[in-house]
Amino acid sequence: MDPLSTISEELAEIDGQIGDIFRALSNGFQKLEKVKDSNRQTRQLEELTEKMRECKRLIKEFDREVKDLESRNDPGTNKMLNEKKQSMIKELNSYVALKKQYASNLENKRIDLFDGGTEGHGEENVLLASSMTNQQLVDSGNRMMDDTDQAIERSKKVVHDTLNVGTETAAALKAQTEQMSRVVNELDSIHFSIKKASQLVKELGCN
């Protein structure tokens, strides 16, 4: 019989659920070592991370129950329960560290693939990416794509505005050219009229 069940049925049930998750995590990481495909590794890591979240929630429930029973239990029982809780936390932390190691290796592979293993900024990107969660990496990628789209739209607007200015300038130049042509024509007419008048004056003078 589970000794915890003699203290609290709820504690025994939570302990059993946490034990099941730890077994699932152990098997999951063992299988993960054999997976070579990065996408499959990422999916399995996400599943294992979800199990770790559930385990953390259950450990908190276990801790609350222990505190509720503290006044009713003898010091020896309370010590045993707290040691069990610390053991759970230690085991969970070992899986969290393992998950971070796998996530870091995966991100290093991806950055090597995209950046060609370059030094300098590439190393900074590796360190940055390894400290980010999968969701943060997705959000960062989306932001980069949004920034690129906005830059493209700004470039389009500049080109469009430049074309408009060019069109307006060409129209203005055309209007000015036509106006100048009219002025030249008018000047020609005036010059012709003056020349004609001069001839008439000369003819009148002769008479």
Whether 156 maps to a domain, the answer reads no
Residue 72 lies in a domain: yes
User: Sorting pLDDT into bands at 50, 70 and 90, what band is 135?
Assistant: low
Distances from the Cα of 8 to the Cαs of 15, 46, 84, 125, in angstroms?
A: 11, 33, 14, 50
In a domain, 168, yes or no: no
Query: What's the pLDDT score for residue 89?
Result: 93
pLDDT of residue 123: 44
Per-residue model confidence as pLDDT tens digits over 17-35: 999 999 999 999 888 888 7
- pLDDT exceeds 50 at position 119: no
Mean pLDDT of 89-98: 91
Q: What mean pLDDT is predicted for residues 48-65?
A: 92
Q: Is the pLDDT of residue 76 over 50?
A: yes
Q: Does residue 74 sit within a domain?
A: yes
Look at residue 54 and tell me whether its pLDDT is greater than 60: yes
Rounded distance between C-alpha atoms, residue 92 and residue 52, angstroms: 7
Overall pTM > 0.85: no
What confidence score (pLDDT) does residue 19 get? 92
Number of domains forming the structure of the chain: 1
Instruction: Taking residues 39-65, report their average pLDDT.
Output: 90
Establish if 128 belongs to a structural domain.
Answer: yes
Q: Is residue 80 part of a domain?
A: yes
DSSP string across 173-204: HHHHHHHHHHHHHHHHHHHHHHHHHHHHHHHH
Q: 58 or 141: which carries more pLDDT confidence?
A: 58
Q: Report which of residues 53 and 167 the model is more confident about.
A: 53
pLDDT category at 38 given cuts 50, 70, 90 is: confident
Cα 132 → chain centroid: 11
Close Cβ partners of 151 (under 8 Å, ≥ 6 residues apart) = none
d(CA 83, CA 89): 10
CATH at 115: 1.20.58.70
**Would 75 be classed as within a structural domain?**
yes
- Residue 110, pLDDT score: 60
Assigned domain for 202 exists: no
Q: Which domain holds residue 122?
A: 3-132
